[in-house]
């Protein structure tokens, strides 16, 4: 166990787990000191070697894009990043590059894809279980040792919130708060188009705010209704009892209604809420978004009534060739039982399913 000021760090296999306490600046200082080596590795391996040296991208252009991403961050999240630069021996410019690494690595064809599935009610043997694949460029597997579960315990009274992703990313593509609300993001470009607004708060930062401020699914829903996305996304949100899916292009948001399958929702990369009136996207040019969704629907139907965390892990382990959803682009995976604050994390080719006790990390306050 390492510690710095009020923060601590430990590992479960290669997964880093950091526990941060205090003001936003203090939590940033703890993050920077505890995760410096992992952030430097991302800066050197991903930004310098991969994007600049191998892919020929211009470093000034990358710095400019990273600064634009940071520009509309809420003040409290900027404080985290400023705190990180105080203790990590990295400049704020480098910290901004690491924070934006997934965005900078993205091109029109190579965006994080991802698949999510939530099962409850008649589909499960006991209580709601959520499965999640995070899919990205295969070379991100070189950053497997830089994956972190970062838990923030803010002194301002916000809800304790844990984010899961790569070191130095101060936003939510996967997260859980002390009320047991789990949230995950998928790219919605095949249906919502490729418009990107630099003039809006990045949606991934807004989702971090949602978890810090939202104590129920209804509250989180009101945040979706209030907030415009800066890019097209599909978001899965669940508590211990039920899950909801939000299809969130830049001009509107709709909660997907599951008419035919009560107790099951599967998210890939296209909108399926029929009121959009959209055709289904072509599968091959859109990362097999329809195949991945259909395969998980079929697996869930097959296991209906018996799905629990073990079965869900088996479903998430099923490769697309074997009629599952996992591909060579799957860089990490999760299975979550929000009601019990249980999370299992897997890094394909690096670490098998590992249970993480989120209750011990989030330390939910007494009502």
Q: Decide: 89 and 157 in contact? Cβ < 8 Å.
A: no
Euclidean distance between CA atoms 84 and 104, whole angstroms: 20
Which tens digit of pLDDT belongs to each residue from 182-212?
999 999 999 999 999 999 999 999 999 999 9
Fold of 115-362: Penicillin V Acylase; Chain A (3.60.60)
At 276-310, the pLDDT tens digits run 999 999 999 888 999 999 999 999 999 999 999 99
CB 235 within 8 A of CB 194: no
State what percent of residues in the chain have pLDDT above 70.
99
* N residues, the chain: 367
343 close to 355: Cβ distance less than 8 angstroms: yes
Coil vs helix vs strand at 287: coil
Mean of pLDDT values over 156-172: 98
Confidence grade of residue 108 (pLDDT, cut at 50, 70, 90): low
**Selecting from 1.10.439, 3.30.450, 2.40.10, 1.10.730, what CATH number does the domain 2-105 have?**
1.10.439
Q: Give the DSSP per-residue string, 219-231.
A: HHHHHHHH---SS
Numbered ranges of CATH 3.60.60.10 in the chain: 115-362
Mean pLDDT of the chain: 96
What is the helix (H) or strand (E) element at residue 311, kind and residue range? helix 309-317
Of residues 240, 195, 209, 197, the one with CA closest to residue 80: 209
Residue 276: what pLDDT? Answer: 96
| C-alpha–C-alpha distance, residues 179 and 286, integer Å | 35
**Which ranges in 170-306 belong to alpha helices (H)?**
189-192, 203-213, 217-226, 289-302
- Which structure tokens are listed for 232? 């097209």
Q: Identify any residues that bridge with 233 across adjacent strands, giving them in sequence order.
A: 187, 248
Q: How far is CA 317 from CA 266, 293, 314, 330, 356, in A?
A: 16, 15, 5, 10, 18
- Give the three-class secondary structure for 2: strand
What phi, psi does 34 have (nearest 5°)?
Answer: -80, -25
Instruction: Give the distance, in angstroms, between the CA of residue 43 and the centroid of all CA atoms in the same chain.
Output: 20
Q: What is the 8-class DSSP label of residue 152?
A: E
What pLDDT sits at residue 260? 80
Domain limits, CATH 1.10.439, in the chain: 2-105
Whether the per-residue pLDDT at 109 is higher than 70: the answer is: no
Closest C-alpha among 131, 120, 218, 227 to residue 174: 131
Q: What are the helix (H) ranges across the chain?
A: 24-34, 36-41, 59-71, 75-87, 92-99, 101-105, 189-192, 203-213, 217-226, 289-302, 309-317, 358-362
């Amino acid at each position: 166990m390492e510690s710095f000021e009020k923060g601590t760090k430990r590992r479960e296999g290669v997964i880093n787990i950091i526990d941060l306490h205090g003001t936003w600046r203090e939590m940033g200082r703890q993050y920077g000191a505890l995760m410096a080596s992992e952030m430097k590795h991302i800066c050197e391996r991903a930004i310098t070697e991969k994007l600049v040296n191998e892919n020929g991208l211009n470093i000034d252009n990358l710095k400019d894009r990273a600064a634009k991403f940071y520009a509309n961050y809420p003040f409290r999240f900027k404080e985290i990043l400023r705190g990180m630069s105080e203790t990590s021996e990295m400049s704020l410019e480098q910290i901004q590059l690491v924070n934006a690494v997934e965005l900078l690595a993205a091109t029109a064809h190579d965006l994080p894809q991802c698949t999510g599935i939530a099962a409850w009610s008649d589909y499960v043997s006991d209580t709601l279980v959520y499965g999640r694949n995070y899919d990205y460029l295969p070379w991100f597997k070189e950053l497997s040792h830089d994956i972190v579960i970062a838990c923030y315990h803010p002194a301002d009274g916000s809800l304790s919130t844990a984010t899961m992703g790569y070191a130095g990313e101060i936003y939510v593509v996967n997260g859980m708060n002390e009320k047991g609300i789990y949230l995950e993001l998928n790219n919605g470009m095949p249906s919502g188009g490729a418009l990107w607004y630099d003039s809006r708060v990045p949606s991934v930062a807004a989702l971090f705010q949602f978890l810090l401020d939202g104590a129920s699914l209804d509250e989180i829903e009101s945040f979706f209704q209030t907030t415009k996305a800066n890019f097209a996304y599909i978001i899965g949100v669940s508590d211990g009892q039920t899950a909801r899916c939000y299809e969130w292009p830049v001009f509107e948001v709709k909660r997907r209604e599951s008419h035919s399958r009560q107790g099951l929702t599967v998210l890939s990369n296209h909108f399926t809420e029929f009121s959009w009136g959209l055709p289904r996207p072509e599968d091959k040019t859109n990362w097999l978004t329809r195949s991945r969704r259909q395969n998980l629907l079929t697996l869930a139907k097959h296991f209906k009534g018996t799905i629990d965390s073990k079965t869900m892990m088996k479903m998430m382990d099923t490769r697309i060739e074997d009629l599952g959803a996992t591909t060579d682009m799957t860089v990490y995976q999760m299975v979550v039982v929000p009601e019990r604050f249980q999370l299992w994390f897997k890094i394909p080719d690096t670490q098998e399913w590992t249970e993480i006790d989120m209750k011990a990390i989030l330390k939910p306050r007494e009502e």
